[in-house]
């Protein structure tokens, strides 16, 4: 039996790290939007996985972290990698049918799936913590706009795909916590996902007939580098290290901040407007995080 991973409450350091991660991931949405003008989405995702895999491998070698030793993690690693690839397939394909606002709303159902699934690994949320999740989700809905009524069938198909992406994301997290990956180095956990997802995403790019219209601009390449080096190569390593130490349900609640940071980054970088509802949304999210991180 695998040793049970620690489930420490979130301290000030953990909260600061999660805020940094959410800010980075929120800006990543802007990075994808800018780079997509020159680099198709599946191609972006594939390059990001391949490039980040090299970074993680070099980092692991420098730190002396073994990536190829037999430790019983292969099966779980392959499952996590397939789920990781499936998440991005559903996100990018779902965006063909539904809007960005709807996609963000439905993708961030992930903490609910995690909270439900966390029961299987011994984590429990009390009613007040569930209320916190509901408040945070309401904040996301206010910030991004509740989807309008009368959506056509294809829009609903896209919505379902984004909910599936949220489920894939949460399932990946739970697989890591519930298997030998929970005690594997974060570098190895991430390497599995990158090594398995990269060829899957590359194949999707080929099957989708993606082509570069010309030589990508320096701006697009810079934002792709941000995604590859910082977001996937560094922040994902930090995230997988965090979920080995802290309660998964409480960490996942912080991901509600990511779309709010994304709206702010879109305003600062792309000039997107921020509605008056943003202040209310931020208050709801913060209130929800306070509740969900109260001792059970």
Q: With a cut of 90, say whether residue 20 has pLDDT above it.
A: yes
Contacts 24+ apart (CB under 8 A), 165-168: 165/86, 165/87, 165/88, 165/90, 165/91, 165/94, 165/107, 166/106, 166/107, 166/108, 166/109, 166/110, 166/113, 167/109, 167/110, 167/113, 168/83, 168/84, 168/86, 168/87, 168/90
Is residue 3 a part of any domain in this protein?
A: no
Instruction: Pick 206 or 279 by higher pLDDT.
Output: 206
110-152 pLDDT tens trace: 777 777 776 666 667 778 878 888 888 888 777 766 555 556 7
- pLDDT bin (cut points 50, 70, 90) of residue 272 is low
> What mean pLDDT is predicted for residues 3-26?
79
Burial 147-162 (b: 16+ CB within 10 A, else e): beeebeeebeebbebb
Q: What percent of the chain has pLDDT over 70?
A: 87
Q: What percent of the chain has pLDDT over 90?
A: 29
Q: With a cut of 60, say whether residue 6 has pLDDT above it.
A: no
Tell me the three state secondary structure of residue 122. coil
Q: How far apart are CA 291 and CA 192, in angstroms?
A: 34
pLDDT of residue 201: 95
pLDDT of residue 218: 95
pLDDT of residue 4: 47
> What mean pLDDT is predicted for residues 51-58?
94
DSSP 210-243: ---SSSPPHHHHHHHHIIIIIIIIIIHHHHHHHH
DSSP assignment letter at 8: B
- pLDDT bin (cut points 50, 70, 90) of residue 51 is very high
Q: How far apart are CA 21 and CA 255, in angstroms?
A: 9
Q: How far apart are CA 114 and CA 256, in angstroms?
A: 13
CB hemisphere CA count around 191 (13 angstroms): 20
Tell me how far CA of residue 240 lies from CA of 204, 213, 259, in angstroms.
26, 36, 20
Q: With a cut of 50, say whether residue 2 has pLDDT above it.
A: no
Is residue 251 a part of any domain in this protein?
A: yes
pLDDT of residue 148: 55
Q: With a cut of 80, say whether residue 106 has pLDDT above it.
A: no
pLDDT of residue 42: 92
205-254 pLDDT tens trace: 999 999 988 899 999 999 999 999 999 889 988 887 887 778 766 787 77
Q: With a cut of 70, say whether residue 99 has pLDDT above it.
A: no
Q: How far apart are CA 266 and CA 226, in angstroms?
A: 16
pTM higher than the cut 0.95:
no
Is residue 7 a part of any domain in this protein?
A: no
Tell me how far CA of residue 130 lies from CA of 112, 127, 201, 268, in angstroms.
9, 5, 35, 33
Q: How far apart are CA 19 and CA 23, in angstroms?
A: 6
Tokens of residue 178, six digits: 């519930």
pLDDT of residue 21: 93
Output helix, strand, coil percentages for the chain, rounded to the nearest 5.
75, 0, 25
The range of the structural domain enclosing residue 213 comes to 12-292
Q: How far apart are CA 129 and CA 293, in angstroms?
A: 7
Is residue 162 a part of any domain in this protein?
A: yes
Is residue 243 a part of any domain in this protein?
A: yes
Q: How far apart are CA 55 and CA 58, in angstroms?
A: 5
Mean of pLDDT over the chain: 83
Q: How far apart are CA 275 and CA 110, in angstroms?
A: 25
Q: With a cut of 90, say whether residue 183 has pLDDT above it.
A: no
Q: With a cut of 50, say whether residue 28 has pLDDT above it.
A: yes
pLDDT of residue 125: 73
DSSP assignment letter at 19: H
Outline where 145-227 has alpha helix (H): 153-178, 186-207, 218-225
Is residue 107 a part of any domain in this protein?
A: yes
pLDDT of residue 1: 40
Q: How far apart are CA 109 and CA 171, in angstroms?
A: 12
Total number of domains constituting the chain: 1
Q: What residue has token string 């399932």?
A: 171
Is residue 52 a part of any domain in this protein?
A: yes
pLDDT of residue 3: 44
Is residue 6 a part of any domain in this protein?
A: no
């Amino acid at each position: 039996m695998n040793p049970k991973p620690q489930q420490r409450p979130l301290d000030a350091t953990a909260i600061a790290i999660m805020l940094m991660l959410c800010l980075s991931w929120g800006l990543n949405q802007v990075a994808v939007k800018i780079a997509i003008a020159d680099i198709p989405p599946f191609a972006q995702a594939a390059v990001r996985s391949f490039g980040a895999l090299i970074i993680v491998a070099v980092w692991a070698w420098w730190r002396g972290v073994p990536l190829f030793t037999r430790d019983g993690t292969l099966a779980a690693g392959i499952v996590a990698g397939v789920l990781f690839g499936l998440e991005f397939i559903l996100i990018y394909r779902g965006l063909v049918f539904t809007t960005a606002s709807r996609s963000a709303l439905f993708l961030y159902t992930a903490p609910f799936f995690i909270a439900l699934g966390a029961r299987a690994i011994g984590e429990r949320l009390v009613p007040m913590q569930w209320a916190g999740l509901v408040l945070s989700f309401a904040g996301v809905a206010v910030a991004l706009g509740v989807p309008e009524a009368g959506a056509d069938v294809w829009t609903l198909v896209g919505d379902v795909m984004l909910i599936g992406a949220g489920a894939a994301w949460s399932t990946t997290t739970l697989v890591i916590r519930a298997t030998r990956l929970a005690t594997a180095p974060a570098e190895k956990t991430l390497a599995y996902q990158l090594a398995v997802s990269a060829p899957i995403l590359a194949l999707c790019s080929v099957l989708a007939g993606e082509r570069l219209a010309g030589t990508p601009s320096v701006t697009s390449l810079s934002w792709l580098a941000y995604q590859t080096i910082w977001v996937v190569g560094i922040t994902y390593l930090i995230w997988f290290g965090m979920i080995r130490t802290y309660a998964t349900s409480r960490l996942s609640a912080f991901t509600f901040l990511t779309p709010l940071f994304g709206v702010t980054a879109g305003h600062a970088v792309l000039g997107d407007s921020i509605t008056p509802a943003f202040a209310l949304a931020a208050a709801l999210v913060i209130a929800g995080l306070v509740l969900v991180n109260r001792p059970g």
